[in-house]
Amino acid sequence: MTIKDIARLSGFSVGTVSRVLNNHPDVSDDTREKVMAVVREHDFQPNTNAKHLKMQAKSSIAIMVKGTNNMLFADILEKAQSLLMENGEEAVIAYLDEDANEVEHAIRLTRERRPKGLMFLGGDLEYFRESFDRISLPSVLLTHNASELGFPNLSSLTTDDTAAASKVIDYLVSQGHKSIGVLGGNPSNSQISHSRIVGCASSFEKNSLDFDPDKQCEPCRFSMADGYSAAKRLIAKNPDVTAIFALSDVIAIGAIRALQDLGRQVPEDISVVGYDGVPLSRYSVPRLTTVRQDASFMAKRGVEMLLHRIHNKRPAVHEIVPFQLVHGESVDRTEKIT
């Protein structure tokens, strides 16, 4: 069933049928009615390929999800997809490994798919610096600040990771902790974790505490399994830490499990702070003290920014989303630590 069949069946030309289908104003009501009757009767749906070919139209929004097992991204993704759907846009989603090059992938996908816009959930700024100039589509990067890159078509939306990390360390220090470990992330300075480490360092300095990354930091990927083993490594090399700052909630969950397995209770024996504020952090035992990034808001704002850029050719913007230190049950004051 094509537009041609509808034309024949309704007695009008394909041009007129096309106009009816696209709600073109200059069609008589009578004609519109008759054509639509046939369309409805046959449940006709125009061929998107032909339409797009003719209109040189882009199809859909492509979303790169960097890193699997990332609950925050899963959260944002779902909401973004729903919002896109409400706006009549389709989402093509690609899950990438935490170490994959999302920009190269996007370039490939862009050629094949010709999407209208790109959304990146996480990413490595280094990859953007290297090859994002080959992308001219409106794009938005979430949970990373891309302002320093200066690409005119790349907006970004992020919490102030440095400030948030500082606040976490400040808080732990205020609770009497002096020996604090940091779990997660990649030492490379282009990774999402770098600014968080920077925030930690500045807080340690402000509080006149030494900060020896080799001794206090244990890098790991963003998953429960990696958090689990990283926590064990940290405790092995630095058994006297009284608090751990995990760079994501899933890492924190893995770490808490590891600590329990080592016979250390949280928070009685050791405190743990997470990052992200995923739903799980409200249901874990103990509930997590964590930095909450507002997934709903990020999804909403991210989609808005992207759609604005697509439809109104607005310039790229870089926004900071407020964060919130949510108090759970995973932190104790040191004097209470046995």
Cα-to-chain-centroid distance, residue 70: 9
In whole angstroms, how close is the CB of 3 to DNA at the nearest point? 3
In 3D space, the residue among 211, 209, 191 whose CA is nearest the CA of residue 122 turns out to be: 191
- Does position 53 interact with DNA (CB under 7 A)? The reply is yes
Task: Round to whole Å and give the CA distance between 31 and 331.
Answer: 71
- Does position 23 interact with a copy of itself (CB under 8 A)? The reply is no
Partners of 19 in the β-ladder = none
- Does position 37 interact with DNA (CB under 7 A)? The reply is no
* Angle between helical axes of 295-312 and 71-86 (0-180°, round to 10): 40
How is residue 306 written in tokens?
């992207």
Q: Which does 19 bind (CB under 5 to 8 A by kind): a copy of itself, DNA, none?
A: DNA
Q: Determine contact, residues 225/254, Cβ cutoff 8 Å.
A: yes
In whole angstroms, how close is the CB of 10 to DNA at the nearest point? 9
- Does position 99 interact with a copy of itself (CB under 8 A)? The reply is no
Among 37, 41, 42, 47, binds DNA (CB under 7 A): 47
In whole angstroms, how close is the CB of 271 to a copy of itself at the nearest point? 15
- Give the three-state DSSP class for 210: coil
Q: Which does 280 bind (CB under 5 to 8 A by kind): a copy of itself, DNA, none?
A: a copy of itself
Q: Count the neighbouring beta carbons within 10 Å of the beta carbon of residue 263.
A: 7
C-alpha angle 279-281-284 in degrees, rounded to nearest 5: 115
In whole angstroms, how close is the CB of 71 to DNA at the nearest point? 40
3-32 residues in contact with DNA (CB under 7 A) are 3-4, 11-16, 18-19, 21-22, 25-28, 30-31
- Does position 56 interact with DNA (CB under 7 A)? The reply is yes
Partners of 180 in the β-ladder = 243
Among 283, 312, 315, 338, binds a copy of itself (CB under 8 A): 283
Whether the bond between 46 and the residue before it is cis, its omega within 30 degrees of 0, is no
- Does position 4 interact with a copy of itself (CB under 8 A)? The reply is no
Locate tokens 């008759």: which residue? 34
Among 8, 51, 167, 232, binds DNA (CB under 7 A): 51
In whole angstroms, how close is the CB of 12 to DNA at the nearest point? 4
Among 37, 41, 42, 50, binds DNA (CB under 7 A): 50
How is residue 231 written in tokens?
């926590």
> What Å distances lie between residue 28 and 9, 22, 31, 146, 161, CA to CA?
18, 14, 5, 51, 58
Locate tokens 């990649």: which residue? 186
Chain residues in the site for a copy of itself (CB under 8 A): 45, 47-50, 52-53, 57, 59-60, 68-69, 74, 77-78, 81-82, 85, 90-95, 111-114, 223-225, 228, 253-254, 256-257, 260, 279-280, 282-285, 287
Residues at the site binding DNA, with contacts judged by CB under 7 A: 2-4, 11-16, 18-19, 21-22, 25-28, 30-31, 46-47, 50-51, 53-56
